[in-house]
Amino acid sequence: MAPSAAQRIVIENCAIATVDANDTEYASGHLVIADNRIESIGAGKAPEGLENVVRRIDATGHLVTPGLINTHHHFYQWITRGLATDHNLFNWLVALYPTWARIDEQMGYAAAQGSLAMMARGGVTTAMDHHYVFPKDSGDLSGAIIKAASEMGVRFTLARGSMDRSEKDGGLPPDFAVETLEGALAATEETVKKHHDASFDAMTQVAVAPCSPFSVSTELLRQGAELARRLGVRLHTHGSETVEEEQFCKELFGMGPTDYFESTGWLGEDVWMAHCVHMNDSDIEAFARTKTGVAHCPSSNARLAAGIARVPDMLKAGVPVGLGVDGTASNESGELHTELRNALLINRLNPVHREAALNARQALRLGTYGGAQVLGRAAQIGSLEAGKLADLVLWKLDTLAHASIADPVTALVFGAAAPVTASFVNGKQIVENNRLLTVDEDAVARSTRDEAQRLARIAAQG
Ligand SMILES: [Zn+2]
C-alpha cells in the first residue's frame, strides 16, 4: 500500500481492459495511481476522500489498457529503413551487414531515439533493443541506447547481442562485422554489471543475447547461457525464423534449430526467442515444457516472407508469447499498436486455424501481459491490478475512426491505429495527444535523417 503522502492521479469514466488472469473489464470504471503504482481499480467512480490528488482525468470516450510491451527490436535499423525491400532474410542480411558494420555511438543514439519515439507515441511503455552490431572503435553503443531510453522515460530491456561466426567460419556476417568469443562475453558481462537493475520497479534491465545460430558460434551460445545464469539475467536470441535457417542448422549441426538450442542450454523459463516461425509439434512441446518464451513479429515475418508462426498452437500448449516490432529495416512502420491487428489478421491466414486463430482480447494480451511474461516482468507490469506499476495508456475511441464500434477492445484491435491521449510509465506521463512530452519529436526526426545520410555516405565509401 502506498503511504498516505503519495501523490495521486485519478482517472475516471473510461472503459478499462485490465488483462488480468480473468480478463476483467469495466464498461465505465476508475483507476487511481499513487506515485509509481496502481493503488486501486474498479467499476464506477474512484473512492471518495482520497488525499493528495494532484490530477483528476475525465477519460470519457476512452479505453484504458496496460501499456504495450515490445519484446523484439533492433533500434539501430531506424537509420537503414526502406532498403533491400524485396529480399528474403538471408539475402537482406547480406545486403545490409556492410552498412550496419559502420555504425557509431552517435548514430546508435539517434536511431534509438527514433525507434523509441515512434513506439512510445503509439502506446508502448516497455521497450527492448536486441543490439548485436559492435564495430571496433564505435564508442559506447550500449550506454548511448540506454541513455536514449532513459531520457524518453520508457521502461527498457537492453538485450546485449553479439556475433562471432563470420563468413570464414561458415556464418553469414562479413569477417569485419563480428567480435571475438572472449571479447563478446567480457563486454556483455560488463554491460550487465554496469546497467542491470533487478528491483521491482527497475527502469533498465539487461539480457544476454547472442544474435542467431548463423552468426554465433556454438561456444558463444553455451558460454552465453552460463554467463546469464551466473549473473541472474535473461537470455534472448533469434530462432526458427526461416526455412533457410532450418537448412543451415541441419547441415552444420545435424539437427533443427530447437534441438540445437536445447543442446546448448538455450531452452528454459529465463529464455525468450524472436520469431519461432518454423516449429514442428515437438518443438512447440519443448518450448511449453521448458516455458521458453516467444516474441511474435508478424509484420517482419511478412516483410521478409518468412512464414506464419503457429501462435494459436503455442498458446494452447502454454508457451508464453509476446509481440515484437522487430528492427525497422524489416518493419518500416516501427509501431507496436498496429501489430495487435497484424497478429490477429496474419494468424487467421494460416489455413489450419482460420477464423479461430486469435480474437481481439488474445491479441491485446499478446501485446501486454504476454510481453511482460517473456521479459520476466509479469509480477510488475502487463496488467492493470492494484500493487502493480503504473504503466498504462488512454486510447481515444470516440472519434470518426472508432466511435461507431460498440466494443472498445474490438475497436482498438480491429480498427485503425487509435490515438493515444495519454500514456503513463512508472506513474509519469510521457505522451499527451500523440505527442511525446519527454523529447522533441521534430528534433529527433531531423537527427535521424542526418545520421541515416551520414551512415549511407560512409557505407558508400566502403
Ligand atoms: Zn530481429
Cell numbers found for residue 377:
516482468
For residue 81, the CA-to-ligand 1 centroid distance in Å is: 14
pLDDT at 4: 61
For residue 417, the CA-to-ligand 1 centroid distance in Å is: 23
Cell numbers found for residue 404:
461507431
pLDDT at 433: 97
306-352: pLDDT as tens digits: 999 999 999 999 999 999 999 999 999 999 999 999 999 999 999 99
185-198: pLDDT as tens digits: 999 999 999 999 99
pLDDT at 270: 98
pLDDT at 217: 97
pLDDT at 5: 83
Label residue 235 by pLDDT band (50, 70, 90). Answer: very high
For residue 285, the CA-to-ligand 1 centroid distance in Å is: 23
Average pLDDT along the chain: 97
For residue 348, the CA-to-ligand 1 centroid distance in Å is: 23
Assign 297 to helix, strand or coil. Answer: coil
For residue 445, the CA-to-ligand 1 centroid distance in Å is: 23
pLDDT at 3: 55
107-166: pLDDT as tens digits: 999 999 999 999 999 999 999 999 999 999 999 999 999 999 999 999 999 999 999 999
For residue 209, the CA-to-ligand 1 centroid distance in Å is: 11
For residue 153, the CA-to-ligand 1 centroid distance in Å is: 23
On the 0-12 / 13-18 / 19+ scale of CB atoms within 10 A, 386 is middle
Among residues 154, 36, 114, which one has the least CA distance to residue 430? 154
CA geometry: angle 140, 143, 146, nearest 5 deg: 150
Q: How many Cα atoms occupy the beta-carbon half-sphere of 260 within 13 Å?
A: 26
263-298: pLDDT as tens digits: 999 999 999 999 999 999 999 999 999 999 999 999
Label residue 237 by pLDDT band (50, 70, 90). Answer: very high
For residue 287, the CA-to-ligand 1 centroid distance in Å is: 19
Residues with CB under 5 A from ligand 1 (ion): 274, 326
For residue 280, the CA-to-ligand 1 centroid distance in Å is: 21
For residue 297, the CA-to-ligand 1 centroid distance in Å is: 9
For residue 70, the CA-to-ligand 1 centroid distance in Å is: 12
For residue 329, the CA-to-ligand 1 centroid distance in Å is: 10
For residue 238, the CA-to-ligand 1 centroid distance in Å is: 6
For residue 130, the CA-to-ligand 1 centroid distance in Å is: 7
Task: Answer yes or no: pTM beyond 0.95.
Answer: yes
For residue 332, the CA-to-ligand 1 centroid distance in Å is: 13
Label residue 462 by pLDDT band (50, 70, 90). Answer: confident
Alpha carbons 409 and 396: distance in angstroms, whole number: 12
Q: Is the pLDDT of residue 381 over 90?
A: yes
Pairing of strands 8-17, 124-131: unpaired
170-218: pLDDT as tens digits: 999 999 889 999 999 999 999 999 999 999 999 999 999 999 999 999 9
Name residue 55's beta-bridge partners.
Answer: 9
pLDDT at 97: 94
Cell numbers found for residue 451:
545520421
Q: Is the pLDDT of residue 24 over 80?
A: yes
For residue 129, the CA-to-ligand 1 centroid distance in Å is: 9
Alpha carbons 86 and 403: distance in angstroms, whole number: 37
Label residue 396 by pLDDT band (50, 70, 90). Answer: very high
Q: Is the pLDDT of residue 238 over 90?
A: yes
For residue 178, the CA-to-ligand 1 centroid distance in Å is: 17
Per DSSP, helices labelled H in 349-440 are 360-365, 371-374, 408-414
For residue 52, the CA-to-ligand 1 centroid distance in Å is: 45
Q: Is the pLDDT of residue 2 over 60?
A: no
For residue 436, the CA-to-ligand 1 centroid distance in Å is: 26
Mean pLDDT of 7-26: 98
